[in-house]
Every structure is written in structure tokens, then in C-alpha cells.
Amino acid sequence: LNRETLKALTEAIACSGKVLRWPQSFRTGDVPSTGGVGNKTPIAAAAMLAALGFKVPKMSGRALRHTGGSIDILESIPGFRAEWSADAFQSLVGELGFAITAQTAELAPADRKLYALRKQTRTVDSIPLIASSIISKKLAMGVNIVVVDVKAGRGAIIQDYDQALELARELVWVGTALGIQTAAVITENDSPQGRYVGNLLAVAEIVQVLKGIGPRDVTEASIELAALALILGSPSKSLERAREEATNVLLNGRAFDAFRSMIERLGGDISYVDKPNLCYRAPIKIEVTAPRSGVIRAIDAEKVNEALRPLVFARSGRRETLQERRSGVRIDRKPGDRVVKGQRVMTLFCGDIGSAEATRRMLRRAIETDEDAEHRPQTVLARILPDGCVEVPREIDAAVVIVKDVTRRGSTYLVQLNRRWGMFNFISGKRESGEDLCMRGTAMREVEEELELVRDEDFTVEEIATNPVEVIQYSRRESCYTRYQFYLYHLTFFGERRSLLQRLSRNVDNRWLTEAELTAGWSGDGSAVSPSVVRIVARGDLSLRALPTSFSV
């Protein structure tokens, strides 16, 4: 879908049912997520928004493709009623300031139909379809401010981090284009978020977060979502100030009160909120121990979800039994913690000993350890603001040198195999401290190091007159997004072409690829070309064809 079609589709889904309207005096907001394993932020952060003075008309989903939805969590509280007519829902929001409904035939009904169709056509993880599905429901709810929690990693609907960034950008673009002030936060979900996975267990953890005693990751993500919503509402506020205000409603009990009143008014048995120990009463609790000693690198959220699915999310058109609602897992050791073989990492909560052993074995396989790497992943990985600006923790300037050969068979460009990543890249490298501000020195140094040539004797480089190419990429090794600014240079050799080609061919990592190969991201023999090369070549204002050959003789 191009962006105009995405916008039209989103609006059409929203208008397939009633579109709620609110008095001018209401500051309406919502904090949906794209769904994931251990997801509690949409409920926790919504209660925080309500405590911060927003009106929060929230429409949430039931189980998505792989994980339970916010409605499953809330419906695990006995008595909680999730389906309301549009009129009744509107009065609830007027009365309480905060209410949650499941999707009904009256509100964005096309989304439900499209979702069923997406399951059949295997397009559940289509980026534009996710973006239109989420934003259309916010449009139908009539909210002015939306901050989306886009989860990334193996627990998320979009597992790949670069694609999660693309989804976040699409969400922000389409929301903004339709008149909603929209921002997004990308949060880490390679391991389950929080300490509990399971429906009633999630209720108990939401209560902990709202009382200021929840796990670091869910609390941090919820504060970030609420703080960004505050900034969208009053742009002169600093992020620090907004985070402080969001933290205060956890500490002063207002966010908990908003959640409690909502659960009570919507029919939920309030004793599960007041005495969360009721949520932990599974009859069987089994330890899941570390298969190896080391530092926990990740607890594979996808495997945890698969292991729990038969126990917790046992939906076949019926409500779960109380036992299923109490089932789940407690994560006793999180990524970054050191464990010794045999030490408890998780505790399985379940009601049926029959399937418990198989589940325990599957959970054990989810535990990944490293020998020594200290590894505590950040929770908030990036922020995407309404103007499309992406805030990431690392910025790197790099020089890229394009070397071109022209023969009778056409033009080819020099790339080098990066053995660590198994991908071809242009000659390129990061600016080092103290290097020339215009980056020409960096470009020269890279050519000397990578091609074993001598500057001014063998070659020179000239800057290509384009703006630097910006590429934001996720690094698995560093567990963070990095913004690269690539400054482009063209190389000219002074020596004789044939002898230079001979010298370059001695290094088996040097290869000459055509523009078509660089654009496709694959060489003719099936080797990968780095995504940053593909992005550089795709830049509209860079014409490889217009570059002269690099050989002067």
C-alpha cells in the first residue's frame, strides 16, 4: 500500500461503524500496543493517562495471532464485562474518565472482518495492515493523542527490529495524517516483558506497576508512553518533567485508583485488584531451571508463548476456566542476571500436572545464556515523534567510498565481504576521534586500510555532492538502534588500471557488483549485500550511473 491508500483504508475502517465524538473540553488520549508476550503497558499506561487528566476511551483486542490481548487479561477477572454498546461506553467514559471495551459490531466492525481475512491470507504481520488496524480504532474512538508501544523481538508481532521501526513510522505517519497527534515508542520484547506471563498473573503485575512496585521494564515503558502523551498535549513540557509527572501518579496512588474504579464499574470482582494474591493461586507450581551456567542473554519470548499456549490461551470460542486464567509463568531471573546450572529461572503456574512436564521442558529450552557477556537490554529502544523524527541512543558518522569500473559489459562497483556479518559492503568506516570534520580523512584512511593503497601516491577521494545518507539500523551485538550518517566519496586511482585490478583481486573479499545486484541486495551467486548499501544506492539524489570511472589510466 502506498501512503495515500493506507490513509484512505484507515479512514474507511474507522467509518465502518460509529465514530465517537467528545466535548471540546476533553483531552482524549490512548496508548495502544502492537501486542507481545508479557504485554501490560496498554492497560498500565492508560490508567496513568487517566490519572494525568486525560479521558481514555480505550478499545482493546482479544488474542492476536500469537499472544493474549488486553481484553483477555481483563476478562480473567471474574465478572469483568468487556462488551458495551457505543452509547453505554460513551457514558462510562464521561462518568469515569477511563473505560475499556472490546471491539463490537458498532465500533470499527470492518477491522474485525479484515483481521479474520488477514488470518486466512497470512497477512497478519503486514505492516500497513497493522498500522491501519490500530489507528482506525483510535479514530473511531475519537481520541486526539495516541502513543503506540511498538514491540520488537521474538515476542512481538513484528520480530525484526528494522521492520518494527518501519511499522512505528507508518503508525505515526498515518495517525498524524488523519489528525491524531501520534508518536511511538519501540520497546524490547525479545524476552517476555515484566515478570509474569498469563492472564490473572498479568492483572497482579499491572497492580504492582500502578503501585510503583512493578518490574523495571514494564514500569519504564509505561512511564515513557504516558510522558510522551503528556508532551504531545503540551509541547513546551520537557521529557524529564513529563516523566516526573507520570512517575508521580504511580507514587501517589492516582493511577491505581483510576484502574480500580474502572474494573469495579465494569463489573470485575475487585477483590482480585485489592488482594492480588488471589491471582497467584494456581494449584501446581513447578520450577524451570537453567540448563547451563552463565549470564542470561534472553528468554525466548516466542518459545515461552508456545509453551504456555495450551495452558493459558486455551480459546476455542469459550471463556477460559479459572484454572486456565491462573496459569502462566513467573520469570524469576531476567536477561542480564547470572545463573548457575540448575538454578531456578522461571516458575510454571498451572492446574494440570498432565501437561506440566512437557511445558516445563519447552520453557527450559527458551533460556539462552552466554558465557560471560554482561547483557542487560534497554527497554525503550527508540522514540518516533509526530514529525517523523526518530530518537535513538547512538549516532555514528561514517565515510563510504564508491569505486567504479566501466567495461564494455557495463559498470561494476567495488564491495568487500564483511566476514562477521557475511555481507558485502562498500569500502566504509566510522569517523574516529580527531579525524577531519569533513570526513575526507576517514575515507582516505579506510581505503588505505582496506585496499592497502597509499593516499596521493595511488589514489584520491572526492566528496559526492549529496546530503549524507541517513540509515537507522538495529545492532544485535549492541542491542540498540544506531543512526548512521553516511558521507559519500568517489575514488580515483592514479595507477594503471590492469595492475590495480590485479592487486585488488588478490584479496578474495573484494568483489565487483553491478548496480542491479546492489539494488536487489544480492550478488548473482546469492551472497547478501548489506542493507545500508541498498539504502545508499536507492537514494534518489545519488546516480551511480553518472559517476565517472575510478580509473584515470
Between 34 and 193, CB nearer to ligand URA: 34
Please tell me the distance from the alpha carbon of residue 45 to that of residue 223, in angstroms, as a whole number: 7
Cβ-based nearer residue to ligand URA, 61 or 97: 61
Q: Which stretch binds ligand URA (CB under 6 A): 130-138, 228-236, 366-374, 391-399?
A: 130-138
Minimum distance, C-beta of residue 56 to ligand URA, in the bound complex (Å): 16
Task: Evaluate whether 41 touches 149 at the Cβ level (below 8 Å).
Answer: yes
**CB nearer to ligand URA: pick between 150 and 298:** 150
Nearest distance, CB of residue 83 and ligand URA, angstroms: 16
Measured from the CB atom, the residue of 119 and 376 that comes closer to ligand URA is 119
Nearer CB in complex with ligand URA: 108/491: 108
**Footprint (CB under 6 A) of ligand URA, residues 293-332:** none
CA angle 424, 426, 427 (to 5 degrees): 120
State the nearest-atom distance from the C-beta of 157 to ligand URA, in Å.
6
CB nearer to ligand URA: pick between 42 and 215: 42
- 157 vs 346 by CB, closer to ligand URA: 157
Nearest-approach distance from CB 447 to ligand URA, in angstroms: 47
Minimal distance, residue 107 CB to ligand URA, in Å: 12
β-bridge pairing 367-370 and 427-430: unpaired
Rounded Cα gap, residues 489 and 368, in angstroms: 42
- By C-beta, is 61 or 268 nearer to ligand URA? 61
Give the whole-angstrom CA distance, residue 74 versus residue 267.
Answer: 11
Nearer to ligand URA, 34 or 41 (CB): 34
Q: CB count, 10 Å around CB of 405?
A: 18
Nearer to ligand URA, 31 or 339 (CB): 31
Q: Which of 39, 133, 159, 222 contacts ligand URA by CB under 6 A?
A: 133
> Rounded CA gap, 340 and 334, in Å?
13
How far is residue 88's CA from residue 296's CA, in Å, rounded to a whole number? 48
Q: Which residue in the set 14, 49, 50, 64 belongs to the binding site for ligand URA (CB under 6 A)?
A: 64
Q: How far is Cα 430 from Cα 141, in angstroms, rounded to an integer?
A: 47
What is the total residue count of the chain?
Answer: 553
Choices 9-17, 127-135, 271-279, 318-326 (CB under 6 A): range interacting with ligand URA: 127-135
Compute CA distances 98 → 28, 47, 59, 90, 317, whole Å: 10, 7, 11, 10, 28
Residues 331, 334: Cα–Cα separation, whole Å: 7
Residue 548 carries which DSSP code?
P
Cβ 98 to ligand URA shortest distance, Å:
19
Piece of 126-134, 248-256, 395-403, 494-502 that binds ligand URA (CB under 6 A): 126-134
Considering only the stretches 39-47, 129-137, 378-386, 439-447, report the one whose residues sit in contact with ligand URA under the rule CB under 6 A.
Answer: 129-137
- Alpha-carbon gap, residue 108 to 15, rounded angstroms: 7
- Could you tell me the CA-to-CA distances from 38 to 164, 208, 229, 298, 302 in Å, in that order? 18, 14, 22, 14, 11
Nearest to 192 by CA among 154, 160, 158: 154
405 touches 512 (CB < 8 A): yes
Told to check if 101 binds ligand URA by CB under 6 A, we report no
Q: Least distance in Å: CB of 115 to ligand URA?
A: 6
- Binding residue for ligand URA, selected from 38, 61, 233, 328, defined by CB under 6 A: 61
Q: Which stretch binds ligand URA (CB under 6 A): 9-17, 128-136, 334-342, 402-410?
A: 128-136
In the shown chain, the binding pattern of residues 2 to 41 toward ligand URA, with x for contact by CB under 6 A and - for none, equals: --------------------------------xx------
- Cα-based angle 382, 384, 390 (whole degrees, multiple of 5): 75
- CB nearer to ligand URA: pick between 74 and 282: 74
Q: Which residue has the cell 564508491?
A: 402
Phi, psi values for residue 255, rounded to 5° = -65, -40
- Minimal distance in Å, beta carbon 133 to ligand URA? 3
68 part of the interface to ligand URA, by CB under 6 A: no
Q: Is 134 an interacting residue with respect to ligand URA (CB under 6 A)?
A: yes
- C-beta of 61: minimal distance to ligand URA in Å? 5
Distance CA 431, CA 436 (A): 8
What is the rounded distance in angstroms from the CA atom of residue 69 to the CA atom of residue 37?
Answer: 10
| Nearest residue to ligand URA, by Cβ distance, number only | 133
Phi, psi of 471 (to 5 degrees): -130, 125
**b/e per residue 194-228 (b: at least 16 CB within 10 A):** bbbbbbbbbbbbbbbbbebebbebbbbbbbbbbbb
- Taking CB under 6 A as the criterion, the residue among 93, 130, 255, 402 binding ligand URA is 130
Q: What cell does 391 get? A: 530518537
Closer of 158 and 290 to ligand URA (Cβ) = 158
Q: How many residues bind ligand URA (CB under 6 A)?
A: 8
Interacting residues with ligand URA (CB under 6 A): 34-35, 61, 64, 130, 133-134, 157
